[in-house]
Chain A
Amino acid sequence: MEKKVNLFHPEEGSYPPVKNPAGIGLRHAHYKDVIETKPAVGWLEVHPENYFGGGAHRHYLTKARELYPVSFHAVGLSLGSTERVSRDHLRQIKELIEIYEPFQVSDHASWSMSGNAHLNDLLPLPYTKETLSILCRNIEETQEFLGQRILVENPSTYLSFKSSTMPEWDFMNEAARRNGCGILLDVNNIYVQSRNHGFDAFEYLRGIEGRHVGEIHLAGHTEQEIADGSTVLIDTHDSLVRPEVWNLYGFAIEKFGPIPTLIEWDQNLPPLSTLAAEAGRAAAIIRERALPHAAE
């Protein structure tokens, strides 16, 4: 297995020569295809929870890891739960980290665990001082246990809390400032949030402190008219990245530099070539809008 690759060190202010900072999510249906056709993407991302058991999944991940750098995007730490992060969950992720040596590990600024029930969704948090201290405690315990920095992703939400005292971007910055975690900036989520909660997505991007940003996610969403007649954007990960989101992404890359970028697609999976083409588009945007600026 090759050595750990760190694609990007924001602290150092310099960008190592990465041929292709655009990656794709590795999903079950594409295991064989990825290994056999070796698409021209820079890296692969997996949910570590899918590899807690043995058998087929680990078999294919081991093969894929021989071909690509891998990052871990956890979905089960429930960093925003008032209950503490499960030690058992952390132990299993750590075991996988030792085997697969991901170049990055992340989860979300959301919650899913309450009273011993895992709700299997990324549920919304009020942006308050209380939430910050709970989230930061959980991030800190996670980083300590895993012995490394993690990235935390901004969510898509369909409800917002009256009690919030700060905009989401300030909340994300503050969490990163407090315990040195990074931000996994999901640009599609920012767009979804801006439409669902009525703010300017560019203002969000301008508000994010660049030094925290360690990864970017792009995905498709769905516009759904709901019973009350309003339109809600749902983060479905089931289609091409929308033009409005590509537009925001270009702005983000100009501001933050050549950040490793992932194409996420979880439902109605297209052929692998479609995912690779989306990643190619992200890579082209990085070349055009970030790298000239980085070389200065």
Chain B
Amino acid sequence: MRLSETQTLFSRTMLDHPDAVANPDPALAGLFAGEEAILPARLKIYRNNILGSLTKAMQATYPLIEKLTGEEFATGLMRSFVLESPPQEACLARYGAGLDAFIETFSPAKDLPYLADVARLEWAMNEAYYAPDDRPLTPAGLQNVPLEELADMILPLRASIRLLDSRWPLSAIRNFCLKENRDERETLNLDQGGCQIMVYRPGLSADIVPLESAEYAFLQAMSAGDTLGQSLETILKTFPGFDFKGFLQKHMALETFSSPVANT
């Protein structure tokens, strides 16, 4: 058998139903030295290594999912995801996109309607954590801009910034999960309303800040590449009272905008 066929067959067996390892395809079984009786247990070592390491990587990326659903449920979910969508590249930091959509089709999760949005939040936080290093725009960087040019400026957001809009209270869910020594009987009101949040990376780890609706819409416009003037025009139609000065102060302090490349 050619090496390419061997690798295809081996790979398919690893990602197939467990029976494929317990009763291997004769074409695969015929490739290996030693008695055939030893084969299932040996193939299982590889299968456990592959699925175990990928499942573990997913669990590390989605800790809140595990806090909310328990280890057994989360392991089952991640393993099902791994079997359906194995990584396409050898960089596990970027593995796990699309778990939110997978959860929406995962029948054991059908009574947990908020779970997909929690996955969306965790993926955004993972992307923020590994985002390329860039420099923030500083107040000094804006000082030299003449007032008449400000409206034509495009202020790109930092590579780590992600904007999320959810009908679930994601911040409250996250705080609930992260709370230490939580009383087992404590419950969380999921009907307290949705949220709009920004994921960012202050220092070396990712975090979230809640946003007002106008602020969220303004950042959305800016992330789409609109100039400050255009963004402001759009926002004022819906939110005539938008406090641009307050917005700018808050986001200069959060270092939301990236420094123009020429200034670095």
| Chain A positions near chain B (C-beta within 8 angstroms) | 49-50, 52-59, 75-78, 81-82, 86, 88-89, 92, 111-121, 123, 125-126, 128, 130-131, 134, 158-164, 197, 224, 226-228, 230, 232, 234
Beta-carbon contact of A121 and B50 below 8 Å: yes
14 contacts across the A-B interface (CB closer than 8 A)? A49-B91, A56-B129, A89-B90, A111-B7, A114-B7, A114-B8, A115-B8, A120-B50, A123-B10, A126-B3, A159-B42, A162-B30, A224-B45, A227-B41
At the interface, yes or no: B234 with Cβ under 8 Å from chain A?
no
Least CB distance from A34 to B in Å reads: 16
Task: Decide if A55 touches B41 in the complex (CB within 8 Å).
Answer: no
Given A117-B11, A134-B3, output 5 extra A-B contacts at Cβ < 8 Å: A54-B132, A57-B130, A114-B10, A128-B3, A159-B42
Q: How far is A117 from B13 in the complex, measured between Cα atoms in Å?
A: 12
Write the nearest CB–CB distance from A83 to chain B, whole angstroms: 8
A228 and B86 form a contact (CB under 8 A): no
A56 and B92 in contact, given A119-B50, A162-B32, A228-B37 (Cβ under 8 angstroms) = no
Nearest-neighbour CB distance to chain B for A127, whole angstroms, equals 11
B21 to chain A, nearest CB (A): 11
Separation of A234 and B132 alpha carbons in the complex (Å):
36
> Nearest CB to that of A131 among chain B residues?
B3
Beta-carbon contact of A119 and B91 below 8 Å = no
Contact size class for B? 35 or more
- Contact check, A228 vs B41: say whether CB atoms are below 8 A apart: yes
> Shortest CB–CB separation between residue B78 and chain A, in angstroms?
13
- B87 in complex: contacting residue of A77, A117, A130, A226, CB < 8 Å: A117
Task: Find chain B residues with CB under 8 A from A115 CB.
Answer: 8, 11
* Chain A contacts for B130, CB-based, 8 A: 52-55, 57
Pairwise interchain contact B11-A160, C-beta atoms closer than 8 A = no
> Is A160 a contact partner of B34 (Cβ separation < 8 A)?
yes
Question: Per-residue CB proximity of B14-42 to A under 8 Å, as 1/0?
Answer: 11000000000000001111100111111
Task: Identify which of A50, A56, A57, A86 contacts B89 (C-beta below 8 A).
Answer: A86
Q: B101 interface residue, CB < 8 Å from A?
A: no
Cβ of A223 to closest chain B Cβ, rounded Å:
13
Give every chain A residue within 8 A of B57 (Cβ-Cβ).
120
For A52, give the chain B residue with the smallest CB separation: B91
Known: A89-B89, A131-B3. A55 touches B204 (CB 8 A): yes
Nearest Cβ on chain B to A98's Cβ, whole angstroms: 15
Interface pair B42/A226, CB less than 8 Å apart: yes
| Interface: B116 (CB within 8 A) | no
In angstroms, Cα B35 to Cα A230, docked, is: 11
B124 to chain A, nearest CB (A): 14
Given contacts A54-B131, A56-B129, A130-B2, contact A120 B90 (CB under 8 A): yes
B residues near A57, Cβ cutoff 8 Å: 130
How far apart sit A126 and B53, CA to CA, in the bound complex (Å)?
A: 24
Contact of A50 among B88, B93, B131 (CB under 8 A): B93
Residues of A close to B167: CB separation below 8 A: none
How far in angstroms is the closest Cβ of chain B from A291? 38
| Smallest beta-carbon distance B259→chain A, Å | 15
Bound-state CA distance A126–B4 (Å) is: 12
Residue numbers in B under 8 Å from A50 (CB-CB): 93
> Do B90 and A76 touch (CB < 8 A)?
yes
CB distance from A132 to the nearest CB of B (A): 10
Closest Cβ neighbor of B5 among chain A residues: A82
Contacts of A120 in B (CB 8 A): 50, 53-54, 57, 87, 90, 92
Report the bound CA distance from A52 to B129 in whole Å: 12
CB distance A158 to B90 under 8 Å? no
Known contacts A118-B88, A121-B49, A159-B43; is-contact A54 B133 (Cβ 8 Å): yes
Contact B3 A55 (CB under 8 A): no
